[in-house]
């Protein structure tokens, strides 16, 4: 499944939820279902700068050249936002991550309905994922 398809699925899932309180509950559920991040990956190097809460993101490439992302946060809603981003981007080629804008964030109205600090944190997480993708894309291109 490509990123655009995953985004469309999330848009469909969240569009069925009309009120923002229920959307927040769904985001928290996503965070609770996130696989635990190994403690040895919760390092200073993996902390996302620009988030009010503690957020860790770790990325690696698999043998197929896909980015595998792991993440965690000490705040429930933020952990859910981490889960949302991982569900869209993890398992994708770095070039696809770079080429596909995060349309689902605008479509769902996250920018206008999250607190300013959470919206900034969400953009910081997205920026970190794009930085990983840039590095991995360069690595893959120089290997050829």
Taking the chain, what is the end-to-end CA distance rounded to the nearest angstrom?
25
Per-residue DSSP letters for 67-105?
Answer: EEEEEEESSHHHHHHHHHHHHHHTTB-HHHHHHS--HHH
**Of 122, 118, 130, 112, nearest to 59 (Cα)?**
130
Task: Reply yes or no on whether 36 is catalytic.
Answer: no
Catalytic residue among 3, 10, 27, 51: 51
Is-contact 132 67, C-beta < 8 A? yes
Q: 35 Cβ partners below 8 Å, 6+ apart?
A: 70
Cβ distance 69 to 140 under 8 Å? no
Query: Concatenated DSSP letters for 48-67?
Result: PTT-SS-EEEEEEE-TTS-E
Q: Which residues are catalytic?
A: 51
């Amino acid at each position: 499944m490509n990123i655009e398809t995953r985004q469309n699925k999330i848009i469909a899932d969240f569009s069925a939820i009309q009120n923002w309180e229920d959307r927040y509950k769904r985001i928290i559920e996503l965070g609770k279902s996130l696989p635990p991040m190994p403690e040895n990956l919760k390092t200073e190097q993996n902390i996302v700068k620009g988030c009010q809460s503690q957020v860790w993101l770790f990325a690696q490439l698999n043998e197929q050249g896909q980015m595998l992302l792991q993440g965690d946060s000490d705040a429930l809603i933020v952990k859910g936002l981490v889960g949302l981003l991982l569900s869209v981007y993890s398992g994708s080629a770095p070039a696809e991550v770079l080429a596909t804008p995060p349309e689902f964030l605008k479509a769902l109205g996250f920018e206008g309905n999250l607190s300013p600090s959470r919206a900034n944190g969400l953009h910081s997480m997205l920026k970190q994922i794009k930085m990983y993708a840039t590095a991995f894309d360069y690595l893959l291109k120089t290997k050829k």
